[in-house]
Amino acid sequence: MSVKVYSMPRGGIAFDDPFAPREFETAFLPVFSVIPLIQHTGTKAYPIVFIGEYVKEGMLIGRGQGVGSANVHATVPGKVVRMASWKTIDGEANEALVVRLEGSFEKLGKPEMPHPWEDLPPSEIQRIIAEYGIVEMDDGGRPLADLLSELSPVSDTITLVVRCVFDDPWLAADITLCNSRLKDVVEGAFIAARACKASRIIYVSSKNENKLAARLIAEASQHPLAQKVSTDLVIVGNKYPQRNRRELELALRTYEKNEKDDLGRFFIAGPATIVAVFDAVKFRKPILDRYVAVGGSAVKEPKVLKVRIGTRLRDVFDQCGGLTDAPERIVIGSPLMGRAVLDIDEPIVKNSYAVSALKKEQVGGTVERSCIDCGECRSVCPVGLDPEELFKRCKTEGILAACGCYGCGCCETVCPSRIPLKTIIYESQANRRTV
Ligand code: SF4
Ligand code: SF4
């Protein structure tokens, strides 16, 4: 039986990267952990431990301060030896508690006591999610408690969308997570559905991972809660950036229309976020580690690693055999949409799903030539923009009015003249937004 595939209506690219990792390696523990007080979108968490104090694994060390901020926990036991501070490439300041590993682990390698959650009301599940500092693990790092509270006054139908869309090889860590913790993804989805008061769950999967999707659905159908919360599967295309919220919603609205099925509002979460919800609610455990795809042309042995939050990038690259050359750019997140970092001692944070060290040849737009008017950039833009034209305007006008570019990088990737289209267009637009 052929399966209907729902895809974004325009643009996109088939994106592969020979320098993205395929193999998984088990966790390692760094001697020093750098645990930032900002691992979310808002203001920094307020530190509640001091230099010289000992902390336990999983202990609250920074208290979130209002909307956008989230609690921060120690990810290893040890002594707080100093505070570190640095600036991101955008000039934003961050601070961290540096913990030297000492003493025994409270949770690692120990049997865990599950907490029954099936009778908890949504408000209590939301409180636990806030207490354990859960944020979007594969996106911008918005606190989940904020997103849930935005939904609270709404009486519409809500659908939980579990985003298993792997349109980018740098999402290898999420595939590893789904395969290794499949049952937890499924139970975590039922918990998240309770938290957001969703009446149904839709797993959205890329066509190229349909076997994984079939396993998820089979597991979900056997869960005791399957009688109360319906679970469906929607298959989407493999093109990048299908996983982006805008493109995902467009594909789901087409499904809704075809199936004549009211999906209401969407609450979208990736598998890493779902598993973080599972750990918090079922085991009262904050986010201690995460799977990270580590690679890029300057990394000797690209791998998917299970990494403690707070591990420095330097240690992560060492675990992959080290760097072959001084990289031109280090990026947290996918090379296409990620955040460049200035310092190899920056740590892995809750939403660092990938880390890459790129040689000059792998960095787009470094050897710019003249536009040959091939039109490739126009054909791949999912928003329907004319990147060539926008780029020219940026060069002459300096800044752009908001045009809808969200920096997917498709145009820059396909440009035969290696013109830094996305870099200039997205940044110019961002500047205008802040004026
Ligand atoms: S980076 Fe912006 S202009 Fe380029 S393809 Fe993506 S949305 Fe379009
Ligand atoms: S892809 Fe590059 S060379 Fe082709 S039209 Fe766009 S800017 Fe010009």
Local confidence pLDDT in tens for the 435 residues of the chain: 568 999 999 999 999 898 999 888 877 789 999 999 999 999 999 999 999 999 999 999 999 999 999 999 999 999 999 999 988 777 888 999 999 999 877 766 677 889 999 999 999 999 999 999 999 998 889 999 999 998 866 678 899 999 999 999 999 999 999 999 999 999 999 999 999 999 999 999 999 998 999 999 999 999 999 999 999 999 999 999 999 999 999 999 999 999 998 999 999 999 999 999 999 999 999 999 999 999 999 999 999 999 999 999 999 999 999 999 889 999 999 988 888 998 999 999 999 999 999 998 777 655 678 999 999 999 999 999 999 999 998 888 877 777 889 999 999 999 999 898 998 898 887 554 432
Ligand 1 environment, Cβ below 6 A: 380-381, 383, 385, 387, 405-411, 421-422, 425-426
* Contact of 428 with 405, CB cutoff 8 Å: no
Strand partners, 100: 32, 79
Strand 78-87 and strand 72-73: the pairing is: unpaired
Which pLDDT belongs to residue 432? Answer: 44
Q: What are phi and psi of 312, to 5 degrees?
A: -70, 150
Report which residue type is found at 122.
Answer: P
Which domains does the chain carry? 5-14+111-283 (3.40.50.11540), 376-434 (no CATH)
**3-state SS class at 6:** strand
Ligand in closest contact with the CA of 8: 1
Which residues have a Cβ under 8 Å from the Cβ of 317 and sit 6 or more positions away?
294, 299, 323, 344, 355, 357
Q: How far is CA 264 from CA 53, 151, 195, 314, 416, in A?
A: 49, 12, 16, 45, 42
Query: What is the whole-number distance in angstroms between the Cα of residue 374 and the centre of ligand 2?
Result: 5
Query: What is the whole-number distance in angstroms between the Cα of residue 114 and the centre of ligand 1?
Result: 45
164 burial level (CB within 10 Å; 0-12, 13-18, 19+): buried
Which pLDDT belongs to residue 433? Answer: 40
Give, using CA atoms, the residue closest to atom 7 of ligand 1.
Answer: 405
Give, using CA atoms, the residue closest to atom 4 of ligand 1.
Answer: 411
Query: What is the whole-number distance in angstroms between the Cα of residue 404 and the centre of ligand 1?
Result: 8
Q: How far is CA 416 from CA 2, 10, 104, 409, in A?
A: 37, 21, 55, 14
Residue 24: CB atoms within 10 A of its CB come to: 18
Give, using CA atoms, the residue closest to atom 6 of ligand 1.
Answer: 408
Closest atom, ligand 2, to C-alpha of 388: 7
Which residues have a Cβ under 8 Å from the Cβ of 321 and sit 6 or more positions away?
299, 300, 301
Ligand 2 environment, Cβ below 6 A: 371-377, 387-388, 415-417, 419, 421
Two tokens at 377? Answer: 């950039």
Give, using CA atoms, the residue closest to atom 3 of ligand 2.
Answer: 371
* Contact of 312 with 344, CB cutoff 8 Å: yes
Task: Strand 93-101: give its sheet, edge to edge.
Answer: 32-36, 93-101, 78-87, 54-55
Mutational test site, ligand 1, from 239, 240, 336, 421, max ligand atoms within 8 Å of CB: 421
Query: What is the whole-number distance in angstroms between the Cα of residue 412 and the centre of ligand 2?
Result: 9
Give, using CA atoms, the residue closest to atom 5 of ligand 1.
Answer: 381
Which pLDDT belongs to residue 103? Answer: 82
Which pLDDT belongs to residue 325? Answer: 83
Which pLDDT belongs to residue 435? Answer: 28
E strand intervals along 288-328:
289-295, 303-308
Closest atom, ligand 1, to C-alpha of 422: 1
Two tokens at 384? Answer: 């329907």
